[in-house]
């Protein structure tokens, strides 16, 4: 179902689902070690009032799940007509410490006094196997503790009068025929069981007699740490101060971060400002403080796929940075480029994807094609990072940092690309496409490789590395001179690519793919204006609005998460917004605005954009939010605002 709200501080990251419940809890890296990783695992919130109990994810509750326009702070409201109760949540991850905080208000909407009890349930899976975790109650400082090894999670809370939770229970979850200790809450009373190990969960209770129209306020927190002692220090401080000051400080932190780009964002219309700022915040929260940029922290895809998206794809990371770089945010860009320098193979290329701790990620790219050994890479991933260094230089004007990257990243990457070329064609050797599916020499990959080599040559000249500049310029020219290979005269569009056969024949893939035209435009691959015009017209004719819901699929007959009927593929936000950007470059402002509006109209109520949408219903498909979708939304807003 996606995560309409993602909260974090670039070390602790929390994803809230459509019910406002914790569904993802990453620590200590963004996107790595999801401590609620079981498919059925999510924290619960329950309410007991006058003998009636309800979990907030049942049908009794109407909900709105959103976050503030200028801070990563949730705004969640829930109302139950049957129970005559309203709940309101302000959630955030503290900007200075690894604390997930919830400020909860329970309002009695009945016209009489009532006994209201709020239950907070938490279930973590720290160990990979779901075994050998321990949960216990600590009586001296009055908190619940969940731990294994060097991962410690301390759970505490108090009401608005400074009173700590009045009941608790600790037990087993999802094992030995036990659903979980959360069931203990449903009679309004908790057993007080104090410790359990293996698969564990815990519940705490807050109780208050509320007059008609009165509220119960609860401050609730989960401290993530390496040691119980450090977590307890924070807990003791929170018992004394509560969360009011911390939410104010966290809001100020995000507002201050946004303020850095206020002048450059001033050209954006009032209507588009919230979309831009929310996209910037959602990009930022997926950036680990050690440099990795996660594609998506939404683990719900694991319910119907083989893996998460919580990896660092060099491609996604580079695209995620583009709007930040355009707005002058240099610190995250520098950390990401340093991350890429560290993970680069000694021969000058990057692999498919990585974990945020710099370990190699999973892959489905083989090392053997037929009888030939091949690199399991997407060359465009190396190229687009190098190209983005050029954008960083232009917008952030940090020559010193780029010079530091020259010997360690720029030279090996550019040397690799200048040699990874088939002499039969003078074009890049085959690798996987940016969609990670097909092995060939692709139009998009060729275009971004050309653009990256031109950037490398320009930087080399700047630093008086004339031999490098001459070598990389020559390689780019050879690639550019063969641009006619990629245009299909019969269909009037750029092909997806080709594979060099055993007898040096070109086996063409004539699939119409939006990335081919986008890559040629964005990376300035030398082609004729007439061919570009024809190719955009082909996308309009064959792909735009090819499904009832509208939008643009990645390429014709894309079967990734195919619907029934499949049409020509699910519309993607990335490719729909790419077409909008192409329209801006051809002076078709109104067409660009229509596609921008199409995209915002299909966002979640919180503003989160998924990867793709169902071609008939428009419902989110794939992960949500996808960082790349928000990067393209931000870029498109910046594009239309410049012209306007």
* 3-state SS record for 262-293: HHHHCCCCCCCHHHHHHHHHHHHHCECCCCCE
Question: Across the beta sheet with 167-172, what order do the strands follow?
Answer: 52-55, 44-49, 114-122, 200-210, 167-172
Question: Across the beta sheet with 133-138, what order do the strands follow?
Answer: 62-67, 74-80, 85-93, 99-108, 215-225, 151-159, 143-148, 133-138, 195-198
pLDDT of residue 39: 60
pLDDT of residue 643: 52
pLDDT of residue 644: 46
What would the pLDDT profile of 538-560 be if each residue is shown by its tens digit?
999 999 999 999 999 999 999 99
Q: Are 450 and 479 in contact (CB under 8 A)?
A: yes
Q: Are 94 and 103 in contact (CB under 8 A)?
A: no
Task: Give the Cα separation of 50 and 83 in Å (integer).
Answer: 9
pLDDT of residue 79: 98
585 token code pair: 């470059």
628 token code pair: 């790349």
Task: Give the Cα separation of 460 and 159 in Å (integer).
Answer: 62
Task: Give the Cα separation of 583 and 575 in Å (integer).
Answer: 12
What would the pLDDT profile of 487-502 be if each residue is shown by its tens digit?
999 999 999 999 998 8
Task: Give the Cα separation of 223 and 152 in Å (integer).
Answer: 8
Cα torsion angle, 591, 597, 602, 604, sign:
positive
**Angle, helices 443-462/514-522, rounded to nearest 10 degrees:** 20
pLDDT of residue 320: 98
Domain boundaries, the chain: 5-234+250-255, 260-289+543-644, 311-531
Could you give phi then psi for residue 239, rounded to 5 degrees? -60, -35
pLDDT less than 70: residues of the chain: 1, 37-40, 129-130, 303-306, 643-644
Residue with tokens 């990734």, as numbered in its chain:
560
Cβ-count burial 540-550 (b if 16+ within 10 Å, e if not): eeebbebbebb
Closest residue by Cα to residue 46 from 157, 174, 207: 207
Cis peptide before 546 (omega within 30 of 0): no
Angle at 298 between CA 292 and CA 299, to 5 degrees: 105
Task: Give the Cα separation of 164 and 171 in Å (integer).
Answer: 20
Q: Are 293 and 336 in contact (CB under 8 A)?
A: yes
pLDDT of residue 60: 87
- Give the right CATH number for 5-234+250-255 from 3.40.50.720, 2.70.98.10, 2.102.10.10, 3.40.120.10: 2.70.98.10
What would the pLDDT profile of 140-180 be if each residue is shown by its tens digit?
999 999 999 999 999 999 999 999 999 999 999 988 888 89
Q: Are 180 and 170 in contact (CB under 8 A)?
A: no
Q: Name the strand (E) or helix (H) holding 104.
A: strand 99-108
Q: Are 150 and 62 in contact (CB under 8 A)?
A: no
Residue with tokens 């990563």, as numbered in its chain:
72
Residue 370 vs residues 129, 328, 499, 615: alpha-carbon distances, Å: 38, 47, 13, 36
DSSP 304-321: TSSS-S-SB-HHHHHHHH
Q: Are 298 and 15 in contact (CB under 8 A)?
A: yes
Task: Give the Cα separation of 132 and 114 in Å (integer).
Answer: 41
Q: Which CATH class is domain 311-531?
A: mainly alpha
Could you give phi then psi for residue 181, rounded to 5 degrees? -65, -15
Q: Are 174 and 236 in contact (CB under 8 A)?
A: no
Distance of CA 491 to the CA centre of its chain: 36
For 609, how many CA atoms within 13 A lie in the half-sphere containing its CB?
32
For 411, how many CA atoms within 13 A lie in the half-sphere containing its CB?
13
Q: Are 169 and 245 in contact (CB under 8 A)?
A: no
Say what the pTM is: 0.97
């Amino acid at each position: 179902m996606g995560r309409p709200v993602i909260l974090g501080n670039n070390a602790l990251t929390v994803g809230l689902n459509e019910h406002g419940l914790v569904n993802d809890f990453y620590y200590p890296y963004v996107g790595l070690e999801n401590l609620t990783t079981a498919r059925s695992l999510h924290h619960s919130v329950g309410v007991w009032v006058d003998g009636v109990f309800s979990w907030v994810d049942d049908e009794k509750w109407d909900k709105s799940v959103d976050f503030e326009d200028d801070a990563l702070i949730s705004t969640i409201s829930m109302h139950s007509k049957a129970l005559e109760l309203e709940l309101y949540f302000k959630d955030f991850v503290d900007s200075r410490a690894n604390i997930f905080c919830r400020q909860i208000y329970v309002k009695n909407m009945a016209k009489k006094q009532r006994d209201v009890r709020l239950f907070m349930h938490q279930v973590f899976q720290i160990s990979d196997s779901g075994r050998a975790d321990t949960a216990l109650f600590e009586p001296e400082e009055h908190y619940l503790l969940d731990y294994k090894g060097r991962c410690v999670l301390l759970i505490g809370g108090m009401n608005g009068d400074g009173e700590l939770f009045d009941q608790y229970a600790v037990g087993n979850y999802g094992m030995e025929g036990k659903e979980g200790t959360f069931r203990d809450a449903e009679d309004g009373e908790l057993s007080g069981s104090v410790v359990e190990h293996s698969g564990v969960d815990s519940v705490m209770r807050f109780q208050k007699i509320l007059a008609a129209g009165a509220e119960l306020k609860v401050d609730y927190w989960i401290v993530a740490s390496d040691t119980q002692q450090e977590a307890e220090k924070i807990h003791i401080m929170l018992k004394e101060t509560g969360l009011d000051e911390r939410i104010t400080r966290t809001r100020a932190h995000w507002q201050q971060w946004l303020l850095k780009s206020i002048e450059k964002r001033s050209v954006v219309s009032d209507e588009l400002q919230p979309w831009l700022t929310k996209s910037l915040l959602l990009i930022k929260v997926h950036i680990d403080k050690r440099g990795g940029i996660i594609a998506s922290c939404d683990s719900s895809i694991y319910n119907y796929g083989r893996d998460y998206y919580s990896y660092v794809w060099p491609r996604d990371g580079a695209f995620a940075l583009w709007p930040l770089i355009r707005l002058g945010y240099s610190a995250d860009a520098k950390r990401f480029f340093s991350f890429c320098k560290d993970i680069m193979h000694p021969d000058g290329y990057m692999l498919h994807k990585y974990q945020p701790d710099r370990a190699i990620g999973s892959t489905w790219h083989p090392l053997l094609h037929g009888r030939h050994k091949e690199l399991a890479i997407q060359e465009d991933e190396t190229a687009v990072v190098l190209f983005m260094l050029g954008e960083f230089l232009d917008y952030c004007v940090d020559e010193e940092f780029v010079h530091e990257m020259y010997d360690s990243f720029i030279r090996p990457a550019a040397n690799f690309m200048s040699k990874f070329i088939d002499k039969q064609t003078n074009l890049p050797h085959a690798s996987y496409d940016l969609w990670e599916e097909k092995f060939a020499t692709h139009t998009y990959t060729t275009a971004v490789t050309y653009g990256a080599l031109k950037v490398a040559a320009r930087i080399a000249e700047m630093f008086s590395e004339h031999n490098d500049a001459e070598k990389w310029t020559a390689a780019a020219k050879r690639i550019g001179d063969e641009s006619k290979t990629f245009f299909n005269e019969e269909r009037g569009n750029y092909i997806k690519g080709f594979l060099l056969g055993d007898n040096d024949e070109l086996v063409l893939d004539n699939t119409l793919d939006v990335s081919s035209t986008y890559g040629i435009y964005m990376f300035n691959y030398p082609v004729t204006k007439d061919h570009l015009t024809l190719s955009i017209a082909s996308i309009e004719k064959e792909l735009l609005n090819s499904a009832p819901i509208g939008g643009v699929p990645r390429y014709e007959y894309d079967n990734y998460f195919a619907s029934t009927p499949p049409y020509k593929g699910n519309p993607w936000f990335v490719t729909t917004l790419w077409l909008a950007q192409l329209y801006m470059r051809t002076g078709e402002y109104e067409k660009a605005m229509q596609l921008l509006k199409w995209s915002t109209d299909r966002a979640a109520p919180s503003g989160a954009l998924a990867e793709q949408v169902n071609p008939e219903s428009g419902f989110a498909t794939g992960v949500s939010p996808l960082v790349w979708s928000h990067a393209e939304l931000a870029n498109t807003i910046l594009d239309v605002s410049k012209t306007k």
